[in-house]
Amino acid sequence: MGWFESLFKKKDTTEKIDFNNEQSHSTNSIVQIEDDWEVLPEFVEVDSADYPLVSAIATSIAANDRPKSQFVIKRILQRNEEVKTVSIIAASIAATDPTNNQLVVRSIARKKGK
């Protein structure tokens, strides 16, 4: 298995939870909240000045596994700094909880117009 294949291989570690009656009551409030909020993208486009460096690094790493292959980089993304900051703050707050619970952040949103 190549380096990129192991890096981008999807792992299905999600656990399905049945909320039964609780979900039907909360669905109406979620729809109302979604109208006022916009979901922030986890990744944003990279500045075009950074393309040559990132392309050279990615192709040199990938060429190690298959030196006779050709690589085409379609787009380059970077982490959204705003999402990264919110994630760090949320993780810090969650770390103060002494229980052994696992928390999953499914999306990060901000109020529209800000």
Q: Tens of pLDDT along 37-84?
A: 889 999 999 888 988 898 888 888 877 777 777 777 888 899 999 999
Question: Distance between CA atoms of 109 and 89, rounded to whole angstroms?
Answer: 14
pLDDT of residue 1: 52
pLDDT at 109 over 80: yes
pLDDT exceeds 70 at position 33? no
Distances (CA, A) of 33 to 21, 77, 87, 90: 20, 29, 20, 20
Judged by average pLDDT, the poorest of 14-18, 37-41, 70-74, 97-101 is: 14-18
Q: How far is CA 51 from the centre of its chain?
A: 21
Residue 45: its pLDDT value, please?
A: 92
C-alpha to C-alpha distance for 61 and 48, rounded to whole angstroms:
21
Give CA separation, 99 vs 83, 94, 102, in Å. Answer: 25, 10, 9
Separation between Cα atoms, residue 65 and residue 27, nearest integer Å: 47
